[in-house]
Structure 1
Amino acid sequence: MGSESKATLKSIYGRGHPRKVPTATKPSEQTDGDEDSKCRIPAPPNPYPGTRKVPTATGQSEEFNPGLLEQTDGDEDSSNLRLYQQLYGYATQGKVDSFKDTIERKLKADEVHDPNAGVRLLSRLSPHKNTFLHIAASFGHAKLAAEIKHLHKPLLFEKNFEGDTPLHITAKTGDLDTASTLLCEAPGAENADEVFMLLTSINDEQNTPLHEALIHGHQSVAKCLIEAYPAFSFYLNKEAKSSLYLAAEEGFDEIVKLINKKAVEKKPEVRVNGKSPLHAAILGRRNNEILKIVSSMEEIFLSSKDEKGRTPLHSAASIGYVEGVRFLLGRRISDSHQMDHGGNFPIHSASSKGHVKIVKELLQHCPDSKELKNYNGENILHVAARCGKDNLVKYFLKKGEFRMLVNQKDRNGNTPLHLATMHHHPKVVYRLAWDTRTNLKLLNDRHMTALDITESTLETIASYHGRLTWTVLKSAFAQRAQSLHVLQRKKQRSPQVANSGGVWASGSHNDDYEDYEATEATDLLGCATLWAFKLIIFE
């Protein structure tokens, strides 16, 4: 473009006019007489006297020329496109009078040779397959939405590129006035079948308008939709979540109460499928009020399991929700001994996450839970050690009631020390290895001690935590299985002599460590490293 052309454009439109971007707030309903609004960007001068300015969907200015409606030459498609763009601009701005006048002029101009021109124009779709009703609804223009519905009622059920109807769009934006308008303006609102069709329409996510209202946190719109058709609160989307589930998940107390009052109490025969809303309330750490409401709806909610076989108690224990665990144990204590598909009990779920308070709560109600073993034969100390939960391991070791767990073996013959070593948890290994009740010589089913395990992994994985684990075991004088076999053979061959106290002992006190490969320097280095490790991490 030449410099003269650029200068001409600047003289007409000024410099640097920003584009007007629609905000998430609801624009006020506008007519042609409110163009002096304070929020409007000053418009550039009109270079074409005698024409009227029309904002387009992009926020730029176009000129409305009534002569476009009378064009009958070969440029009809171009004329219709320009007319559509003008109407699109009116829809985004909420220009009720301008939109209505333009449509009426079009109908009058084509009354003779094309009586369906108005319908085709109103049915025209944007690149995203939005109708004018979608556009008006997205900007919260309730009056314009009502006018468009009056002009062409079937638009109420049209879906855009994402499968959304105008009511879906309104539910997403949270505009109560527009939602009420669309429901009231439904064709034959007295016809229950048509209202049902409007409210139960699903988009590509298989969400109803009620789903969308709850997902986007618009409780006022959700209440409006529930009042219109309560039973559809139990429809499942593609994630198997009902509207009741979503309300419980988000902690919408009033919505949960409304669904219970309108749908459950009036129709107790209704069965709730899909994901349990009690799971949702637990995972969302919602208050006890919601837990009470949901659990009172159906007994099945308390015993329901998710896709992994977890009860609500499993979920509460896993996330460390103390109030939820206490509530559920008070309602259904038997779930403390329910195993999920992974073979874990609720106390194992709590142990894997290191939730000391949850473990205490479970043991307070069910003291025998400490004896439970999961599918792999692991007790709660096994699980805590395998997962590196140092705080919980420390708690178990401090309490004498758990002493029988220290050297127990799982189905593979591994003790808690074996598992902590396998997974390179040096802090846990330190606590176990230096506990006097821990037997460092125990072998698993592969005939390996804890030291054998860490040295076998060091050959391929020389990680920091792996070497630190090895250092802790060496400093605690852990032995290899081969060394233990050698010592056993030497003890069998060694002559027994009586010491001064009359106690029979082996002939040499140094034979026990003859094949132990750690030199004095190595032991000193290990101890020094251990003390440094202790000072840095534990103190």
Structure 2
Amino acid sequence: MDPRLYDAATEGNILLLRDLAEEQGSLLMQISHPNRNTVLHVAANFDNKSFVVLIQKYCPNLIEKKNSSDETALHIAAKAGNFSVVECLISWAKDFVGSFSREADENDAYVLLREPNKDGNTTLHEALQSHNPKGKDGLSPIHMAAIKGHSDIVEWMLKRCPDFREFLNREDQNILHVAAMSGKQKVVKSILKMPNFWMLINQKDNKGNTPLHLATIYWHPKIVGTLVRDKRVDMSVMNREGLTPVDIVEKYIDTLASFRKLLTIAALRTAKAPRGQHRPTIDETRQPNKSDFTVEFYRDRINTLSLLATLITAVTFAAVFTMPGGYNDDGPSQGMATMLTKMEFHLFLTCTTIAMYCSIIAAVTLIWTQLGDTNLLVVALRISLLLVGIALTMMALAFAVAA
């Protein structure tokens, strides 16, 4: 390999690569000895993503080239832990139709991911063997895929390596735990459809919580509904506090429950989920929780906005029928506004109309605040505040023009 090309790959010198490629394109096909690495292998090893992107432009078929160990650049990047380059190479392979994809009759990216080196390791094996398979939170790659909702990746990893079912994070949670906790319904459904992974369904974490407990704690009604419909799910399992999922709902439900919480309760009660032996004691004299403070905090603001929106609606409605200059009493224009031909009149009418409709919409939106959902309350208040602001501005402009 040309020393200039090697130095450019290790340093990420894009300008030098561009000059070399335009000067003599065949240089990019040179390999180093004795490892037979291409310039793409070198760039992948040194985590030079921008360099990799430029190589794709000048020499796209390098994605399939192997070194003396039968490793592609994807193997090298995975082994080095350069995941930004891995992502770039996979994206490259998806758009590339090469010899691998033609032989296997499928996307080049999937073929490259499964392609083994001389040791029989795929890119996934290299990534796991060369690095600690768990991150700072104890999350393995399959945990991360489950949290992100990549059901296809989770399925592929479980089929390729069934031992992934034994991977636990620091909370002793399996992949079904983290998927249920994150609200990833597709991942949950995929795991439930795999008969060989039934042991994950009622497994407990270090607090005694099953996936159903966690889906309930984090108020994911779709996940709860999916789990309770599966006959293998034991809804009577209690955690270390002696609580079943229904007990958790009754213990932590707020006076003003959101729709998500109400749907979660409905899913559990419809499935006739049992209570624990020791029902949770609820302190009736407890201090107001955060949602209670939220409602009280916004109550005066809601009332003020409602009153203001109503007043603007009344004033602008009256202004429309009390036209500046009045109406013509006789002649062919009888009943028409006397200032109809003036530009200021049209501006007045436009501003008044906008103010009236904005205030009406704001008043209707504020009705949402009475539904008891604190999240909906905040959204409705923000929308109404914006609409009332527009209405006040338009009303001020209208009366300035009329004056």
Provide the TM-score with structure 1 as the length reference. Answer: 0.38
Provide the TM-score with structure 2 as the length reference. Answer: 0.49
Question: Which structure ranks higher in relative contact order (CA pairs < 8 Å, sequence separation ≥ 6)?
Answer: 2
